[in-house]
Amino acid sequence: ISYVTDAHPGISWRPKAALARARRGTGANARGMKVLCLCVANSARSQMAQGLFDAQSGFCTQVESAGSKPSGKVNPYAVKVMAEKGIDLSSNTSKSIEQVGAENFDLIVTLCAEEVCPHVPGGKKIHWPIPDPAGHGGSEEEQMERFRTARDEIERRIKDFVASQ
């Protein structure tokens, strides 16, 4: 399987080869990959992806999330829908790319859809264009449903990615 990013045409990545290098200790921690999840605000999609990657026991040695323009808070709907899966984001904070040091990661997952994704040097890249569930208004249930849809799509992609390894 090769993943080609939509945000950066021409960049492809063979995940099995990268994981093999990680297991040998070449370019990554020998116990697993270091993953950075990125979006713009670091308040919803990248936070949910961080929690879901963390839930894949033993796959990653480190998972962080960040944004190019961090909002300063984690969206409460993201916290609620992740709690439905038994994942606690309540103590997470919204961080900038500079705060986490993108160059220290083996894999960078961008989750932007309608906005311009942050481009950072460093690890291999995968782009998953997930529509931003935040900022569309509506009733509590409509907002929760948008966040559940985003969460479930991120979870499906992570499970597919992990299974391909």
Per-residue model confidence as pLDDT tens digits over 67-119: 999 999 999 999 999 999 999 999 999 999 999 988 889 999 999 998 888 77
pLDDT over 70, % of the chain:
81
pLDDT of residue 125: 92
Catalytic residue among 66, 117, 130, 154: 117
Type of residue numbered 34: K
Instruction: Give every CB contact of residue 148 below 8 A, 6+ residues apart in sequence.
Output: 81, 84
pLDDT at 36: 95
pLDDT at 135 over 90: no
pLDDT of 19 above 90: no
Q: Using alpha carbons only, how large is the chain's radius of gyration in Å?
A: 15
Catalytic, 39? Answer yes
Question: Is 112 one of the catalytic residues?
Answer: yes
* Positive or negative torsion for Cα 27, 2, 31, 54: positive
Q: Which residue of the set 28, 35, 82, 112 is catalytic?
A: 112
The answer to whether the CB of 128 falls within 8 A of the CB of 117 is no
Identified catalytic residue from 18, 22, 33, 39: 39
DSSP one-letter string for the chain: --EE-SSSTT-EE-HHHHHHHHHHTSSS-TT-EEEEEEESSSSSHHHHHHHHHHHSTTTEEEEEEEESS--SS--HHHHHHHHTTT---TT----BHHHHTGGG-SEEEE--SSSPPP--SSSEEEE--PPP-SS----HHHHHHHHHHHHHHHHHHHHHHHHT-
Q: Poorest-confidence range of 45-49, 67-71, 120-124, 149-153?
A: 120-124
